[in-house]
Structure 1
Amino acid sequence: MDGDAALLRAVAAGDPAAVPGHPEVFGPPAVIRNTLGCTDVTAAAAVLLGARLSRLPAFR
């Protein structure tokens, strides 16, 4: 339990060593990649939902 508390204190203090990995992994390319991924998933879900709703009589 003490290890978890120490990690929580390090993260709360903004200790850069608390985040594992290299900075470029979490930089702007990762933000762009994640944004495009979320946008694509949302667009695909909207297409599938629209196709299903168009088959229902109430939504025609």
Structure 2
Amino acid sequence: MGQYLFDFIVVALLVIGITAVLGVLINGIGQRFFGGKNKNVSVSHSLKTQEGWRKVGGRNP
């Protein structure tokens, strides 16, 4: 029973890990090749939203 549980956990972790890695890779490939001219929309929108914000934390040299 212990070996079955160990095998089940190992397979579950592999399936979850492989799914997560493939999801990130496929998303990156999809955005790069099929994103068209709108692939930087969220980045440019974030930068536009943060325009004029003060820097917080750290030391200014």
TM-score normalised by structure 2 residue count: 0.50
Change (3 A) 1:59 1:44: farther
Which residue in the other structure is 1:38 paired with?
Answer: 15
1:49 aligns with 2:26: yes
Question: Between Structure 1 and Structure 2, which shows a larger proportion of helix residues?
Answer: 1
Give unpaired runs (5+ residues) of structure 2: 40-61
Paired residues in the alignment total 37
Give unpaired runs (5+ residues) of structure 1: 1-22
Q: What CA distance in whole angstroms lies between the structure 1 residues aligned with 2:38 and 2:7?
A: 39
TM-score normalised by structure 1 residue count: 0.50
